[in-house]
């Protein structure tokens, strides 16, 4: 189940499937920990599909995502809703793994040629997203997408995951490289946050001891 209306989160083995239906669209997302397989990505946005491919590749996760518009196929809604669904899947992973111990927070650096980025994520019931976007990453468009819509993905993820996300895209001359470095860095941070840690069995990232 999910706290968001119109959304369901189901687990089948090591695979988490999320379906979200609104008046605007039907979104389906998968987050899996099984052996690598090619991702199933059909968000209607080629560059966004590519970034989700990078997310799964560098986080060692199987990431699937599809978006079927029922009204207006707005890029902002596509990115935000996919982020919300993927974040909800990640939150459920954290909830399921807390009894045996999970890191709950992580960080990561990444590069793509001349571009470099840094990301942090912490699952502790606080939905926040903060960005430092400079140089080429701050341009209005990248590969036919508005960069504010890529920001909306991370904002949606933080809401769905009830997590704090920091993303810093501080270097880069090519906007494609800059954003790809950002998604790679976020993938490293997510992989670290979802890593098992028996020492923390029953513990959350914050000392309050709850994800609410």
pLDDT of residue 2: 63
C-alpha 175/C-alpha 136 separation (Å) is 5
Per-residue pLDDT of 53-79, as tens digits, reads: 999 999 999 999 999 999 988 999 999
CA dist 193 → 59, 97, 149, 186, 196 (Å) = 10, 11, 24, 10, 9
Residue 1 pLDDT > 80? no
Give the global pTM: 0.96
Question: What would the mean pLDDT of 112-132 be, rounded to a whole number?
Answer: 96
Per-residue pLDDT of 201-212, as tens digits, reads: 999 888 888 888
Domains of the chain: 7-200 (3.30.230.40)
Other Cβ atoms within 10 Å of 207 Cβ, number:
7
DSSP string for residues in 99-140: TT-B--EEEEEEEETTEEEEEEEEESS--EEEEEE-GGGGSS
Q: Per-residue confidence at 84, pLDDT binned at 50, 70, 90? A: very high
State which H helix or E strand residue 121 sits in: strand 115-123
């Amino acid at each position: 189940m999910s706290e968001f209306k119109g959304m369901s989160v189901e687990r089948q083995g090591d695979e988490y499937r999320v379906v979200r239906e609104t008046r605007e669209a039907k979104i389906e997302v998968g987050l899996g920990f099984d052996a690598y397989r090619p991702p199933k990505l059909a968000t209607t946005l080629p560059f966004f599909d590519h970034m989700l491919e990078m997310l799964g590749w560098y986080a060692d996760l199987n990431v699937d995502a599809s978006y079927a518009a029922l009204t207006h196929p707005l890029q902002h809604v596509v990115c935000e809703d996919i982020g919300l669904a993927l974040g909800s899947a990640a939150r459920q992973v954290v909830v399921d793994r807390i009894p045996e111990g999970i890191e709950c927070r992580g960080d990561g650096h990444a590069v793509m040629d001349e571009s470099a980025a840094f990301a942090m994520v912490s699952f502790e019931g606080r939905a926040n997203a903060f960005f430092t976007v400079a140089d080429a990453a701050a341009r209005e468009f990248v590969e036919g997408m508005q960069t504010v819509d890529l920001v909306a993905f991370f904002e949606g993820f933080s809401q769905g995951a009830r997590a704090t996300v920091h993303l810093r895209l501080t270097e880069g001359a090519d906007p494609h490289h800059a954003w790809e470095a950002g998604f790679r860095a976020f993938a490293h941070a997510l992989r670290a946050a979802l890593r098992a840690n028996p020492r923390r069995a029953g513990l959350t990232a914050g000392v309050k001891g709850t994800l609410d």
